[in-house]
Chain A
Amino acid sequence: MARNSENSLLFGVDKITVFTYVILVFMGWLNIYAAVYNEEHQNIFDTTQKYGKQLIWIGTAAVIAFSVLLIDAGFYTVFAYAFYGFILLLCILVPFVGREIKGSKSWFGFGGFGVQPAEFMKFATNLALAKFLSNENIVINQQFRLRLRDIIKNYKNTFIALLILGMPLLVIKVLQDETGLAIVFVAFVVVLYREGLSVGFIIFGLLATILFVLSLIVTQTMTLIIVLGCISLSAFLFIHRTRKNLIFVVLIFGAACGVVLGTNYVYEHLEQHQKGRIDVLLGRGEVDLKKEGYNVNQAKIAIGSGQFLGKGYLQGTQTKYDFVPEQDTDFIFCTVGEEWGFLGSTIVILLELFLILRVIFLAERQRSPFSRIYGYGVAACLFFHVAINIGMTIGLMPVIGIPLPFFSYGGTSLWSFTILLFIFIKLDANRLLILR
């Protein structure tokens, strides 16, 4: 390996990842063009149109990508906490000093463009989490215990990790009231899991979700009866009837009761539009397709009408004529579904999946825990976005306003995903140099 090539910018850069990224960004731009397209404005460089602006965003994203690769990998490790602290501070400040755009207080304005600091919180949090977890002395407890003493002793680090995730979540949710941007931080639980978080937590979380949904679909009483039935049956069949286990069973049931009874409280205290979105997803009661059900219904109509091969590029009637709201940002997948059909939609899903799996593959080959953890953070974050974004357009997820990575219109999100991904590409490119 020649020395000058080691110093070159692209040395060790995973070309497959970069290539997939480029394809996704390009396809995204094509679909933004289709979504905004009208016969009067056909110049792709027309910056009064969103596809024209997106070209600027893509150009600047390329600059950012190169800059990220230029900077020494050590920089990210060293300044991980600094990034975290600085951007978190911006997130706290933005509601007070930022510009209000479409009723949202999460933007800093620069001339005609706006930037959401919360978007950058993703990579900063990922860096901080990786830095914290890669510390030699820190071990995430791998056992699932319920005794208070054990919990305090063994889960201290887990709590700190959760705090790193929880702070931006709370700041963005409470101060900026941006549910979509906030909820993303939940995704990093996957990283904790990879680094040793007991499966019990995950299962507990999953069970709680199931109970939440169940008690909204059927009644609370019904849910409790089902839970009681399941627990007693499994206790009877699988568990030795010791005193300890009995307490365990009672505790589980108590927790389930708490979740079920808490469901109603949480649901009732949601905002009207959020309630509506949950109702739409679960098919509860009379969903008015003109109000809360409109987006999802129109999205499904657009995608469903694409059929196998789609209507052809720029031929979509639903997206082109504004039936689907937010079709260039959060509902960009509708354009894909309508114009490219099942074939195109599947290709997009598989491309995103491929990118995520590629990142996991790269993460696993890292020798440095920091790089690995950061890599998992990238994969988890991307996966969460893709799953929620596409899921909501096809009625499998509640409507949460988060973008489809590399696809949706928007400068901040493209920049933030680019930074998130390219830091990892840089770390990966550097993996051989680290132990030299």
Chain B
Amino acid sequence: MSNNPQLADRKFIIGGFFILVAFIYIARLFYIQIIDKRYKEEADRNALQALTEYPPRGFIYDRNGKILVYNDPSYDLMVTPKLVKGCDTMALCEILEISMQDFKKRIKKACLAPNSPRKQSIFEKQMSPKTYATLQEKLYRFKGFYVQSRSVRKYPRPIAAHLLGYVGEVSKEKAAKDPYYREGDYIGISGMERSYEEALRGKKGTRFVVKDVHNKEIGRYMDGKYDTVAILGKPLYCTIDAEMQEYVETLLKGKKGALVAIEPSTGEILCMVSAPGYDPNLLVGGKERSRNFSKLYVDSTLPLFNRALQAMYPPGSTFKLIDALIGLNDGVITRESSFPCAPGYPPMGGHPRCHKRHGGNLVEGIAQSCNSYFSYVFARICDNKKYPKFVDGYAHWRKAVMSFGPNTKLGTDLPFDSPGNVPSVKYYNKTFGEGHWFANTVVSLGIGQAELNLVPLQMANVIATIANRGYYIIPHCVKGVGTEKYLDKKYTEKHYVEVQDSTVYRTVIDGMQRCFDAGTGYPERIPGVVACGKTGTAENPHGNSHAVFLAFAPRDNPKIAVACLIENAGFGGVWAAPAVSLLIEKYLTGKVTRKKEEERYKAVDLINKKNLLTTESH
């Protein structure tokens, strides 16, 4: 073949074509390597997995440093459905002891909104240590699955369930709103776990690990340059006295009601019991938790309901203390004032009624809890000449009452407290018509009935205020957060009520002391302790009256102020006072001398009407 010079020019076409292709390739590389960022992200998704590290939740201690809540390790099996492929489903089902159908159902659930096939969701919650041990060895075979170590709450003493609250999976709404939480994370749902969630939870950390195509962990990404360390949850030191809490809980077994004890000088809640309660250990764990929860939820005695904070009760006769304080402070009565008793309130034909015909001064009125007496006091406060119009007198009374805490959320550090109710002028104007109601129309407010409602915590606050002679500190259950024991300033501020005159307090407290010495609280007097109390019987439209008892002790420099309410238990001196008196004795003297009474009270089951006390008096 000859060398045809014409054909030699084809070298340019061939060479040109080669160069053209090379440049097309380079352009394409430019596009996928520099312009299109998608591949970079895909690569990260391929090989990088962000593992969340959950720090253990902070422990909770009582006021004496005893542990109330600690943690146990637990393991959740997580799944990313999109990554599950060719995995030995049978083996996994065997380990978890679930059926194939179950397996498919769970995968499906993990795919559906709000979960996503690309996101991790919980496949099996809180596996037993044994299951975890078996699974851990074979985990690499189950692509798309991995184990997340968590911790579950443990309670060495089965007490204070309402107060401590419980931890559960975060709600969808919360997870959507708060970027910190991801579906499946745990969060404090009630009680202190909820209020102090941010301190207790600590901060999640993230660890980036490199995985190969078989989902095997190869190592840390960039030697952990982008990892964030999990920060431990802070410990919580609370004001609760575990021993007292436990004692009261045993006292209130078989009763419905609540007891709140406060250290008046600091506003620290010493114990807060809502009965019936439950063992907080019931509401941890995976499967058991939901089973126990629904069991408690349908229980007719409402064990999940925190009566101490949420149940609104009429305060009954205990409210007479506030009337007496306001009356004395306004000068509408004196220590020596006395009023007729029919028995009952004569202007209204003997209503409200009294058990017997009372007499005597204010101290006696308090000690004997004369309804008629305090109906007069209430009427005098409202009809005070200082206020030309009755409604202004009423509004003054209401304002003074509210300064003690009722009808407001006290601002305690526990969630879901109810405000209670002191009816407003507007309310009665609507009910009776403007100008158509007078002191006597609503006179039962004066003895703590009608629309008046307080929650037990507010009752305790009232008695603590009286113990402090005129001020209160917002009741709270945390002494300090974290090792530095940080406490919000609002839990050290004094709130002064409308009544400040110390002689006024002396008079009322004299009456309260006499309640123990010779009045309605006489059977519950405490040996060696000068206690001041007030009984109450709160009528309620739904059944038997509730028994109420407020007390503080000792009279000088009070160390403890207690409010107790037992539902449908009748007269306060019989059913509420023993619990209060026993607690005060135990708290102040460290022991209970009245063993017989203690045993009798513990044995009483008001819910099932067993071992009822046989008391003739009152």
- A residues sitting closer than 8 Å to B (CB atoms) are 133-136, 138-140, 142, 190, 193-196, 290, 298, 300-308, 317-318, 321-323, 337-338, 341-342, 345-346, 349-350, 353, 356-357, 360, 364, 367, 369, 372-373, 376, 379, 383, 387, 390-391, 394-396
Contact = CB atoms under 8 A, between A and B. Distances in A.
B130 interface: no
Interface in B328-372: none
Nearest to B35: A304
20 contacts: A133-B1, A193-B10, A196-B4, A290-B85, A298-B46, A300-B39, A301-B39, A301-B43, A305-B39, A306-B33, A307-B34, A308-B33, A321-B47, A337-B29, A349-B29, A360-B11, A364-B11, A369-B2, A369-B3, A387-B25
A337 B33 contact: yes
B214 A322 contact: yes
A323 B46 contact: yes
Contact of A307 (B3, B26, B33): B33
Interface string B10-23: 11001100110110
Contact of B14 (A194, A305, A337): A194
Interface residues of B, number: 40
Given A301-B42, A360-B15, A364-B8, A138 B25 contact: no
A346 B46 contact: no
Nearest to A323: B213
B24 interface: yes
B33 A357 contact: no
B416 interface: no
A306 B37 CA distance: 10
Interface of B: 1-4, 7-8, 10-11, 14-15, 18-19, 21-22, 24-26, 28-30, 32-34, 36, 38-40, 42-44, 46-48, 85, 210-214, 218
Given A300-B39, A321-B213, A369-B1, A342 B11 contact: no
A390 B24 CA distance: 11
Given A349-B22, A364-B11, A394 B43 contact: no
Given A134-B1, A301-B42, A349-B25, A317 B33 contact: no
Contact of A353 (B22, B38, B85): B22
Contact of A196 (B7, B14, B46, B214): B7
Given A301-B43, A305-B39, A321-B47, A360 B26 contact: no
B14 A193 contact: yes
B10 A136 contact: no
B24 A304 contact: no
A390 B33 CA distance: 14
A197 to B, nearest CB: 10
Contact of A302 (B4, B22, B43): B43
A321 B210 contact: yes
Contacts of B46: 298, 301, 317-318, 323
B26 A349 contact: yes
B561 to A, nearest CB: 65
Contacts of A367: 3
Contact of A391 (B25, B42, B214): B25
A195 B14 contact: no
A353 B18 contact: yes
A40 to B, nearest CB: 12
A68 B7 CA distance: 30
Contacts of B15: 357, 360
B42 A194 contact: no
A271 B569 CA distance: 87
Contacts of B19: 353, 357
Given A321-B213, A345-B26, 5 more contacts: A136-B2, A195-B7, A349-B25, A364-B11, A395-B32
A302 B39 CA distance: 7
Contacts of A342: 29-30, 33-34
B33 A341 contact: yes
A305 B29 contact: no
Contact of A394 (B4, B32, B42): B32
A304 B38 contact: yes
Closest 10 CB pairs of A and B: A304-B39, A305-B43, A321-B212, A317-B47, A304-B32, A342-B33, A353-B22, A301-B42, A322-B213, A305-B40
B337 to A, nearest CB: 89
A135 B1 contact: yes
A302 B24 CA distance: 19
Nearest to B24: A396
Contacts of A387: 21, 25
B292 to A, nearest CB: 42
A301 B40 CA distance: 7
Contacts of B48: 317
Contacts of B30: 342
A318 B1 contact: no
B7 A194 contact: yes
Contact of A303 (B10, B38, B39): B39
Contacts of A349: 22, 25-26, 29
Given A303-B39, A304-B43, A390 B25 contact: yes
B47 A396 contact: no
A304 B40 contact: yes
Nearest to A354: B22
A394 B28 contact: yes
A346 B26 CA distance: 6
Nearest to B211: A321
Nearest to B1: A369
A273 B314 CA distance: 81
A369 B40 CA distance: 50
Contacts of B40: 304-305, 307
Nearest to B212: A321
A369 B213 CA distance: 52
B1 A303 contact: no
A429 to B, nearest CB: 20
Contacts of A318: 43, 46-47
